[in-house]
Amino acid sequence: MVLQITGWATILFLLLASGLAVAASRTPLPPVDLPEASRLYDRHGRLIGSWFEENRTPVSSSQIPPLLKAAVVLMEDERFYEHHGVDPFGIARALYRNLRAGKVVEGGSTITAQLAKNLYLSPERTLSRKIKELLLTLKLEQQFSKDQILTLYLNTIYFGDAAYGVETASEYYFGKSVSELTLPEIALLAGMPRSPAAYSPRTHPDRAKARRDLVLDRMAQKGLITPKERDQAKAQPIQVARLAQPLPRSGYLMDYIRSEIATRYPEIAARLSRGGYRIFTTIDLDVQEAAAAALERLPVAGETAAGVRQPQGAILAVDPRTGEILAYVGGRNYQESPFDRVRDAQRQPGSAFKPFVYVTALAQRFPMTATQIDEPVSFPGKTPDAPPFVPMNFDRTFSYQPVDMTTALARSLNVVTARWMAVVGPDAVARTAALMGIESPLERSIPLALGTSAVNLKELVRAYTPLANLGWRAELFAVRRVEDARGRVLVPEGTFGPRATRVLEPGVAYITTAMLQSVFYPGGTAYGLGLGVPVAGKTGTTDEDAWFLGYTPTLLTGVWVGWDDYRPLQGQGATLAGPIWRQVMLAGLEAQGYPRDDWAMPSDVVAVGNALYLKGTEPEVGPWNWGAVPSPEPSPAPPPEGESPGTSETPTPPSSPPPSP
Q: Give the active site residues.
A: 76, 351
Q: State the amino acid at position 134 in one-letter form.
A: L
Considering only CA atoms, which of 73, 104, 70 is closest in space to residue 225? 70
CA atoms in the 13 A half-sphere facing the CB of 256: 28
Considering only CA atoms, which of 90, 86, 88, 94 is closest in space to residue 134? 86
Cα separation, 394 vs 501, in Å, equals 36
- State the sign of the Cα–Cα–Cα–Cα dihedral 101, 105, 110, 113: positive
Cα→Cα distances 97→105, 110, 111, Å = 7, 16, 19
* Contact assessment for residue 481 and residue 489, using Cβ atoms and an 8 Å cutoff: yes
Cα separation, 461 vs 468, in Å, equals 10
Residue 616 neighbours by CB distance under 10 Å: 9
Considering only CA atoms, which of 436, 413, 433 is closest in space to residue 424? 433
Residue 31: Cβ-neighbour burial (10 angstroms; 0-12, 13-18, 19+):
exposed
Cα separation, 515 vs 522, in Å, equals 13
Three-state SS at 300: coil
Report DSSP state, residue 115.
Answer: H
Cα separation, 410 vs 515, in Å, equals 8
Cα separation, 208 vs 478, in Å, equals 43
Report DSSP state, residue 349.
Answer: -
